[in-house]
Amino acid sequence: MLSHFSRITERSRDCCGRFESSAGQPGLIAQSNDGRRLSSRAKQRICLSHRCNLRPSFVALRTRFTVLLLLLALRLLTPFAAAQGLDPAALLKPATDTWPTYNGDYSGRRFSTLDQINSTNIASLTLAWAFPVHIAPVKSTPLEVGGILYFTTPDNVWAVDARFGRQIWHYNRPSEGDHIGHRGLGMYKNWLYFTTPDAHMVSLDAQDGTVRWIVELADPKLGYFATMAPLVVRDHVIVGVSGDVTDVRGFLESLDPETGAIQWRWYTEPDPGQPGSETWPKDSDAVLHGGGMTWMTGTYDPGLNLLYWGTGNPNPVLAGEGRPGDNLYTCSIVALNPDTGKLVWFFQPSPHDVHDWDAVETPVLFDANFNGKPRKLLAQASRNSFFFVLDRTNGQHLVTAPFIDQTWASGVDPRGRPIPKPDAAPSPDGALVEPSSDGGTNWMAPSLDPQTGLFYVNARRIFSIFYLTATGKAEGWGGRDRNLWANSTLRALDYRTGKVVWNHELGDGGTIAGILTTAGHLLFTADNSGNLLAVDPATGKTLWHLNMGGPLVASPMTYQIDGRQYLIIPVQDILYAFALPEHVVAGSQTHVPKRRFRRSSTSVPALAPRSKIEAALR
């Protein structure tokens, strides 16, 4: 029986079963399901139109040929049939046969319960397919729904068969605006949501990539653009904006997935007279031009019905003289009601920021014991080089600790906020500070593994000199910094204290590789020499590596389809898929220790008791 054919359009056929495309290039040789070439008899069935040496029973052969064509059509149409939509319930479950949202699920933990690829067989990992885009580096995390991968670069969306890496469709919308990168898509039922460099939202039909509607999020002429992957919460498409070259106001808004109409908008700076406006200068319009962009995708707790989001730096950038005060709600972690956009609570990692240290890094959600009591927690490794743990029900501060070297803070205040040193502020003569404006970490994804109870972050030691360059009233960028030296490290943190449990050096330079952990006792990331790494999440020991010939500029993801687990790695402008060889999948049973956590009342797994975690680390 024919398994599949590809690259066959207006095809001509010869009597040996080889097809040629309309361009005259050979296509795939017809094969059986087990990979063998078809027999002469099977080839004869294909060659009816050539009146080859057929057996006498023409009617029987024609019937068989018709059946084969029907089966072939069903095979080819399988991806299109699968693209009929996302079951909303998939967003509430651990990502296995789907990866339905930017972080895999609402928690932001980037942990997969799949374990077919595991620490006992990682040495057998092999390349399954590669898909080059030849346009721009792939900085997005693909979605995987119904056997289709959906991923982006600025102005572009692709749908690719998740089994074989074959393109199904490609959408392109050229635009003006900042093309620094793109993080990915949101999905609701049959529809995809894509932000653009000119600050628009595009809704596409997932089946064929046709446009349903396009709406403007903000005026690109004012300096707005968009890079983030929208987050879908029930019938809300939550989307943010980017841009800090001009002094524009950041916001987060919810759109109707059917029409694109605005349901609510929350500004990252309060209106004059509203709570938080007292942290901006009076008798000034600075609060209405204060920045605070919502660059990255947030997280969501369905049990509490709270949306968690990080906000960016205040404007003017690096110049704080014209905006005295804490400048709420910039450089903050906020909790919002997704149905109304109302602020529930906030915590500010960097009050009155003058170093461009956005707090947009993923707010990771998990349930665990803290000081002997079960708590609903939120953890963030922030760009200012500090690690924060909060009670996500009310924003109560629990932990503040540096996760990498820093020179700008002298301590921590009673509210858990780092206390800046006056001489670390930018000046005309320059101030030597660690980290640079690039941060101790940045947008690359962290991970939390419930098997070890550890939080993982790719961190950077970066020294820079911060200059204040503005004369008179600062606008846009009021200063600049120049990096002097950098290197990178992968760190595992104890969420209870913020202390480093283990350290894995990644080499000179600043990494932008993200992290994925799995139930197979593996952590995937990359070093600065272009090596894809699989390390032991309990110890940091390298278990496997492969030089990819370039840097990993996004975050790994994984899914299982047709009984086979795939690992997806974007490297520069190529999407790579890795898997175990079929004979390894078929001939082995995975024997990995059971995960050490119990299910909590919410969708986020609870962590193990401390004694079990410590036992796992020994």
Q: Which of 161, 178, 353, 356 is catalytic?
A: 356
* Strands 516-518 and 111-112, sheet pairing: parallel
Closest CA to 247 of 291, 311, 293: 291
Six-digit token string for 434: 């660690």
605: exposed, middle or buried (C-beta count within 10 Å: 0-12, 13-18, 19+)? buried
Q: Is 353 a catalytic residue?
A: no
* Strands 454-468 and 479-494, sheet pairing: antiparallel
Angle at 264 (CA atoms; ends 261, 267), nearest 5 degrees:
125
Cα–Cα distance between 94 and 210 in angstroms, integer?
Answer: 30
Six-digit token string for 253: 């808004």
SS3 473: coil
SS3 585: helix
Which residue carries 């600065």 as its tokens? 528
Which residue carries 């700076």 as its tokens? 269
71: exposed, middle or buried (C-beta count within 10 Å: 0-12, 13-18, 19+)? middle
Cα–Cα distance between 458 and 30 in angstroms, integer?
Answer: 46
Cα–Cα distance between 167 and 172 in angstroms, integer?
Answer: 14
Closest CA to 28 of 170, 147, 164: 164
**Quick one: which H or E segment has residue 152?**
strand 148-153
Six-digit token string for 226: 């968009």
CA dihedral 371, 372, 377, 383 (to 10 degrees): 30
Closest CA to 130 of 590, 550, 585, 582: 550
Six-digit token string for 321: 């003289």
Six-digit token string for 616: 């796992």
Evaluate whether 244 touches 193 at the Cβ level (below 8 Å).
Answer: no
Cα–Cα distance between 297 and 8 in angstroms, integer?
Answer: 40
Beta strand spans in 211-261 (E): 211-216, 231-233, 236-240, 251-255
Cα–Cα distance between 239 and 333 in angstroms, integer?
Answer: 16
Closest CA to 515 of 526, 528, 505: 526
How far the first Cα of the chain sits from its last, in Å, is: 53
* Strands 373-381 and 447-449, sheet pairing: unpaired
Evaluate whether 457 touches 403 at the Cβ level (below 8 Å).
Answer: yes
Catalytic positions, written as ranges: 356
